[in-house]
Amino acid sequence: MAESASMLLVRRVVDPVLGFFENIGTTVTLTSQTVWWLVRPPYRINQMLAAMDYIGVQSAFIVGLTGVFSGMVLALQTTYALKAFSAEGRVGGIVAVSLAREVAPVFSSIMITARAGSAMAAELGNMRVTEQIDAITTMGVSPVQYLLSPRLLAGIVMGPLLCILYTSVGMVGAYLVAVLLLGGDYGIFMQSIKDTAVPKDLVMGIVKGCVFGFLISSIACRHGFFASGGARGVGEATTRAVVESCISILITNYILTQVMLQGEL
């Protein structure tokens, strides 16, 4: 009885660790196959364009809406914080750098995860449990090339574009609050952006957008592709895909920021 209890305790500790590394290994293996199929013919252009439309174009509204209000609240908080130092003229530059470097890539990627990443995992999971993926394999078509490669490429391409969109509309929202609502000077607002923000800030956001788009697509495809257990399994796979994508975005954001900031020193 004591031995069975101790074995149960060991299993409860070891199984989650083994599952964690198994999940990472499966994701890396599947993603490697997906990248390999990207450079091999036949090139399924229609599938890639459809994936870009779904991930990018159809996510533009929610990303833009989130960007506007993020810029507005950043401008509002920054203006009131800088009033104590009579430095309201620096609002434009501070908001621009914050949006370009951190807020835009992280929040736009989370919105992509919520809208497109979850849908990808659910769609692929449903195809798995209804044996549609097996049918594709039976027809002599690689399901990795047909289903996963277009989605991975679309995530890499559309991630930075949506990040740029988020930054642009965010600055519009910041202008509406800082200049029109709070009565700031338009010239000072624009000059602050020119003095503070540099192309390197936007490049940092674009690089993060590419990496985050890659992570979202690879994680969503992995969980959807290997879903099992019927409707309940598809729901669990979708939940895991969203949670892991968000956590990966936040962890990777810190790592990329640390590396890029050290490169500037």
CB-based burial label for 249 (10 Å; 0-12, 13-18, 19+): buried
**Which pairs with CB-CB distance under 8 Å and at least 24 residues apart come from 6-13?**
none
Pair 108, 166: CB distance under 8 Å: yes
Give the separation between CA 52 and CA 110, rounded to whole angstroms.
17
Q: Give the integer Cα–Cα distance in Å for 225 and 205.
A: 30
Global confidence as pTM: 0.90
Both structure tokens of 228: 């099992």
* Single-letter code of the amino acid located at 26: T
pLDDT at 30: 87
Identify the pLDDT of residue 265: 54
Query: Across the chain, what does the average pLDDT equal?
Result: 89
Q: How far apart are CA 168 and CA 248, in angstroms?
A: 25
Segments making up each domain of the chain, as ranges: 45-264
* Residue 11, H or E segment: helix 2-38
248 versus 86: the higher-pLDDT residue is: 248
Mean pLDDT over residues 232-242, rounded? Answer: 92
Position 123 scores a pLDDT of 94
Q: Crossing angle, helix 199-225 and helix 2-38, to 10 degrees?
A: 120
pLDDT digits (tens, 9 = 90+) for 171-194: 999 999 999 998 888 899 999 999
